[in-house]
Structure 1
């Protein structure tokens, strides 16, 4: 029998919800935060079903809070009818009928045992947030309902009305019923208070908080992107006549509970995205929104994955604002300019996050490529392949594609509930340095918000002392991880364990005195100045993120390493090979060497005196493709020959060859024999490009070249004038007097391409341009004559140039020669 439930909007809809789920087997419930969907619905379902109701929450904080609220409504202690389970913490018993868990924990549990014995229904709360674990859990639950568990009831809840796709997924051929419970909300006024020029977001938020407190009553709920911003905002609010209370998922349970209870005086709750939904913060009358969120992003080109700060979507901004109007009229201050365009919805994590862990779960499920599953958004193929490649390197997968299978080691890694990289570090690190030492490092790497500095060893010392923020949380997680491996040992090598997690992030300094490093994966990173790692030759990088606008990453957490440790931690990355390559820069040319590498990092090298011909050819071609055929010797004659051949190819086509860089480099077999003796840049500069071009011609083309594209033309004065083939049409630049008597302009390419005449004054300056000489004599020449005969009176300017004798100079008219 249900206890007396609070009068929340969902309460009146409970009979319809339970009846719909019983009849259809699945349904979508749309209800804004604060309406009771997270707590009242499971309490109503449990008495009607023959088994347990599992509620999947996207965050640990929400799971604990929801379970505590339901237990309080029943008047019971946690762990009896209502319990919870999150990573490292659980309160359940044999009497538990409602269990609230995180999506990730339920996913681990479900992959290990797809039948979910004893479970009658799963409530997927806050599906609209589109977390990676939640999206995968939904796809696997639907797959299980199609086979193993057709009786399993699924209820998906969302705070948005955009649920058509979700209903289609749940219902299969017929969309699942959608139940809409409207919220009773109060009016909310929205104002924008953007940062002043040069003002940090924390300072702007603190200014907005003070404004919100001055303008009305009630508590203030503030949204910030992360823990660091919460700390800095707390400092900026020092001296405030109100309690400043942090709220984020990394806080101890007691501090989280404090933020969810009314206080003795006004409060300012500084929260991350955990307060957007699933949780109700009582007493809130004002919301201050920084307008930022921290989301996972993976840079596959650089091999960097982590959290980045982005502007929130319009949907998230609206949901945050709604928190101000749950109990009374409210006000919202947004710390960004009014009119700024926001994305309609947040990106689903499956499109942006590292998919290595998802790839392992899919392999354990028996569908390595995810084919056949009903996805809200299917995982992108390239990131999924990248994740599988990592799993192969870790020994978690064998085979490839649809035939890839999870190994026993892979299943063990999946059971640990860690990212596969960290699972590998824990398993292999424990074998080398002992379970405790490995667990302590992994606990730090799994929660890098614990780190206040850059150096892993100093951060571990700080946490071990117990005085650092989060030390208790870190110690509890390290003990939990240690119990999972239970390997005795007395080693302590944080760099080695870090390198096991991220072998491709082993990094070597570029040069003495530099803070720039090259990681084994090929990405450059820079060490912040003034750290204990200054001067280290080698680093085991744990965390590196992207530097906006820079061509390198930034080291956020790393340990001092050395060459021996790097080779020991990443033997699979060590390769030896002969390398013959074209190097760029001031000393560009072919370098032939035998190289031993750790990924992209050169360990040892020595020169090869006689490189293999095929490798040398490939390197020379790479140089020519990179820097162009200008590396060869282009005399004036070679350049003119290229222009003539290019003109004939354009006008007549084959067999006249295409002599552009692109065409020549696309088919080097036609001409590379002319440079087989070259071994470097200097040799290429001595190769006659003209000889290469002539070698492309057959004997017929070689014989016809001067006829079809002559280098010079004989004009009426007897001069042989050079033709310029560099443009679209060949150009003949000649003095006007030398072409008297010419009835029409000449043509090349067998008469198909008229020559463009650039007619010059006696001083060699342009006087006219024409391709129609007959027309020019009639219409253009009289004007030229009028303009120039006064300036050049010693030269001939006949009235009828078509019948006048040509001349080279003012004297000796008609005398040929130049």
Structure 2
């Protein structure tokens, strides 16, 4: 299926690594591909695999926006519409057909499919993209896929792709009696990127919880204006979340460029607009989704606020929440590299070089600090409530995992020895946070399936809330008939039990 050499958009650095990758998969059945962002691994590798295996190639991306974008790009390279040879499936949206050879899904959906039917009938190869991000769903998908290869489908080919060179642990997990899985590297021909250190003056307060000092956001907007005056090409701006994107977008009102937001809660049409070059210069305000998962064309300059939003778990309260933290040096390098994909570029960093040297080398894996209730339930559904026998890259922290399993017992999701109950399977089948899933299952018999689904869809966070008043927000979203909300309501209604 891979288009021939010379086809526009396909002569990318990863192409030279494809013969070695094919040989590694033929020899070992599992392999690790290390390729920097922009080398073409997400689009060219699945097409190459599909031309070598008889069944479908399943590609797992950590985010919905990345899954849709990857499928659109591969379909465009083939000159076909999405849903033909290349399709995608994400929560609430699917475009695939009987002719689909490459299907891009989220890692969460891959976990759901593995739980429903571990043999993955019709699938010949599984590709896990962006494994270096170490999200919980990615760790689970890797562990479950390796378990399937060992016990049920030894012929299933498994490929883990990473944008960083720290592949040793992955290779060990995916190896067998003959040693670690082979590691194939594709070098990227990135251009030089000039760093510009521009910390706010006077210094601003560090982030706390989800709050970000407004003076930092003003400094980001000033750096964007400076970048527009000093450089050419489009500008990619990294901010921690949707609220900060909206704030900086407002501060940039009137600049001589198209300002485009990019984050996971946007409608698909707005995400497409941010990823599509236009006749005017663009400023793309993005979360870390554009760090490695997506390639924004035309970017010559990056403005980096130096922050990321990550899940954190409070053991004392027994609840998880998002927290704003400083990025790691590895993430800062990945972000800067987006300016050097097509030509020499420049990165404006909102911190000093001395601060840069003190940043952590790499981000912590999500399992080390997040709410593990969902992970514990997935392990129980798999039949390994304590994770024994599974190739998890890191074991869950003991204290957080104990709290998670106790929460499952209180919810009635697990019984003695951690065995999953029918209620536990019903909770995980909803495809939402466990507390929201519980609200749906318990609320539907009381207030009706539709009403419960509407409230849970509003609380899920896919639709940005304009008020803290739940009733007012519910009435507003019902009047607006937001497409994302109505789609999620329909999906949740199908998962909710009928009233007695």
Question: Which category of TM-score, normalised to the shorter sequence, fits these structures?
Answer: over 0.9
Residue 90 (str. 1) matches residue 105 (str. 2): no
Residue 222 (str. 1) matches residue 237 (str. 2): yes
Partner of 1:313: 328
Residue 250 (str. 1) matches residue 261 (str. 2): no
Partner SS, residue 65 of structure 2: helix
Whole-Å separation in 1 of the counterparts to 2:157 and 2:2: 20
Whole-Å separation in 2 of the counterparts to 1:407 and 1:255: 41
Residue 291 (str. 1) matches residue 306 (str. 2): yes
Contact 1:185 1:327 in 2 (8 A): yes
Partner of 1:143: 147
Deviation at 1:76, TM superposition (A): 1.0
Deviation at 1:383, TM superposition (A): 1.2
Partner of 2:2: 2
> Residues 552-701 of structure 1: matches in 2 within 5 Å?
none
Contact 2:309 2:325 in 1 (8 A): yes
For the aligned residues, what is the CA RMSD? 1.4
Given the alignment, which residue of 266, 284, 299 partners 1:269?
A: 284
Partner SS, residue 354 of structure 2: coil
Deviation at 1:2, TM superposition (A): 3.3
Q: Compare relative contact order (CA 8 Å, sep 6+) and give the higher one, 1 or 2.
A: 2
Partner of 1:412: 426
Contact 1:394 1:421 in 2 (8 A): no
Whole-Å separation in 2 of the counterparts to 1:311 and 1:13: 34
Runs of 4+ more than 6 Å apart: none
Whole-Å separation in 2 of the counterparts to 1:448 and 1:389: 28
Q: How many residues align?
A: 483
Contact 2:149 2:156 in 1 (8 A): yes
Task: Give the number of the structure whose residues are more often helix, by fraction.
Answer: 2
Contact 1:27 1:155 in 2 (8 A): yes
Deviation at 1:486, TM superposition (A): 6.0
Deviation at 1:371, TM superposition (A): 1.2
Partner of 2:410: 393
Whole-Å separation in 2 of the counterparts to 1:163 and 1:113: 29
Contact 1:295 1:309 in 2 (8 A): yes
- Alignment deviations for residues 687-718 of structure 1 (CA, whole Å, 9 cap, x no partner): xxxxxxxxxxxxxxxxxxxxxxxxxxxxxxxx
Contact 1:391 1:420 in 2 (8 A): no
> Residues 230-379 of structure 1: matches in 2 within 5 Å?
230-340=245-355, 341-379=358-396
Partner SS, residue 305 of structure 1: strand
Whole-Å separation in 1 of the counterparts to 2:285 and 2:182: 37
> Residues 488-499 of structure 1: matches in 2 within 5 Å?
none
Residue 73 (str. 1) matches residue 99 (str. 2): no
Deviation at 1:14, TM superposition (A): 1.6
Residue 15 (str. 1) matches residue 26 (str. 2): no
Whole-Å separation in 2 of the counterparts to 1:300 and 1:462: 35
Partner of 1:475: 486
Partner SS, residue 309 of structure 1: strand
Deviation at 1:472, TM superposition (A): 2.7
Contact 2:265 2:464 in 1 (8 A): no
Deviation at 1:264, TM superposition (A): 1.1
State the TM-score, normalized to the length of structure 1. Answer: 0.58
Deviation at 1:459, TM superposition (A): 1.4
Whole-Å separation in 2 of the counterparts to 1:335 and 1:146: 48
Contact 2:46 2:59 in 1 (8 A): yes
Partner of 2:194: 189
Larger radius of gyration: 1
> Residues 757-796 of structure 1: matches in 2 within 5 Å?
none
Partner SS, residue 450 of structure 1: coil
Partner of 2:207: none
Partner of 1:534: none
Residue 202 (str. 1) matches residue 217 (str. 2): yes
Partner of 1:644: none
State the TM-score, normalized to the length of structure 2. Answer: 0.94
Whole-Å separation in 2 of the counterparts to 1:82 and 1:448: 26
Gaps (5+ residues) in structure 2? 205-213
Partner SS, residue 48 of structure 2: helix
Deviation at 1:299, TM superposition (A): 0.7
Deviation at 1:429, TM superposition (A): 0.4
Deviation at 1:484, TM superposition (A): 2.1
Deviation at 1:453, TM superposition (A): 2.2
Whole-Å separation in 1 of the counterparts to 2:109 and 2:17: 30
Gaps (5+ residues) in structure 1? 490-818
